[in-house]
Amino acid sequence: MPEFFTVLPPEDALRRLRGHLQIPLPAEEVPLAEALGRVLAEPLRAPEPLPAFPRSTVDGYAVRAADTFGATEGLPAYLRVIGEVPMGRPPAFRVGPGEAAWISTGGMLPEGADAVVMVERTQRLDEETLEVFRPVAPGENVIAVGEDVAAGAVAFPAGHRVRPQDLGALAALGIVRVPVVRRPRVALVGSGDEIVPPDRTPGPGQVRDVNTFSLLGLIRQHGGEPLPFGIAPDRLEDLEAMARRALAAADLLVFTAGSSVGTRDLTATVITRLGSPGILAHGLAIKPGKPTLVAFCDGKPVLGLPGNPVSAFVVARMLLVPLLYAMQGLEPPAPIQQPARLTHNIPSAPGRIDWVPVRLERREDGWWAEPLFGKSNLIFTLARSDGLVMVPLDLNGLQAGDRVEVWRWD
């Protein structure tokens, strides 16, 4: 295997990949109840006005606003009560001059009425006589037809990511099938004779498969559909056969091991056989994660992640997550950054970007970030951390007490 020959900063490698992407992915329809978190493939227009009839926003009396002008507690307006608006069906009467009708919140405003007086501003003298102590303006305490959304108006644009409140809005419009961008399908291919499934007891020299499950969670968290293909043995023909099946079934292929430089590294050889243009970067200017392969094969992005769990996860956050958003037609959300001060020095070397897991601690004088130093095969270094601190490309480290931004996992 040749040495690293196109080592790039992660953002440059990602830019090369995105230059080849055809985005977004095709559309599909899903039931409304399954649309949460999905990205709309086309604008959704309101098929009808909402509300479809004028509605009261309070409990009170439907009136003609002009009949209440000048009303005060000392000199109330007197109106005749002619009935009660039924819920769930239109009233069978009209409100004329000097008349009022009881109406509950959400009830349909009767013809002739143009406002609602809150019950707290009234008093019943008898079955037919109502005192009104405050005037109301036309349209007061009433939602007009189409005030929420007009018929034919764009309720949500294409590219909108559906939130819980949006489900309610679509239900109100009677939209029960939602056109969304298909979730990116991400095939996960592991390799290594030393890797066994987590339900097996490892033998001497073996370890359980960590990367498949941490990446599976990361993919689902950011809108993708993981397709685990299992672990291939360290034989070129077996790894290539599994990779070809995986690439055919997915929109993006991720190798979860086997990309470190060495005689047992078969990933680069397999990638060169999967299609053009092939490898775009062999190595990233980053630690952990330098031995990363970035490729585009047969119209699909391919990542070869380092086998060490910390390296694989950090690189996936830098490259895989933005790709998942791009394939859905979205820009990735800005990272949640927590300002803090370092508790210890972080050594580094100019010419690479270092990402160091840290644990956050709240003290009387603010937030502090404690570096969790550990080798890149120690998964609990990540599990015990709250986020990452970046040492920029041109620095040889950070000092205790330096102010930093912690890129939080959440």
Q: Which residue is listed with tokens 């803090």?
A: 340
**Given this model, what pLDDT does residue 263 score?**
33
How big, in percent rounded to 5, are the helix, strand and coil portions of the chain? Answer: 20, 35, 45
**Given this model, what pLDDT does residue 375 score?**
63
Is it true that the peptide bond before 288 is cis, omega within 30 degrees of 0? yes
Residue 198, exposed/middle/buried by CB under 10 A (0-12, 13-18, 19+)?
exposed
**Given this model, what pLDDT does residue 259 score?**
46
**Given this model, what pLDDT does residue 234 score?**
84
pLDDT tens-digit series, residues 81-131: 999 999 999 999 999 999 999 999 999 999 999 999 999 999 999 999 999
- Bridge partners (DSSP) of residue 161 are 39
Token reading at 254: 């991720």
**143/145 Cα distance (integer angstroms):** 7
Q: Which residue is listed with tokens 């840290």?
A: 358
**Given this model, what pLDDT does residue 335 score?**
85
**Given this model, what pLDDT does residue 1 score?**
44
Give the predicted TM-score (pTM) of the model.
0.82
- Bridge partners (DSSP) of residue 358 are 371, 387
Token reading at 231: 């672990």
Cβ atoms within 10 Å, residue 229: 20
pLDDT tens-digit series, residues 282-302: 888 888 888 899 999 999 999
**45/276 Cα distance (integer angstroms):** 41
Extract the residue ranges of the chain whose pLDDT is less than 70. Answer: 1-6, 258-264, 375-377
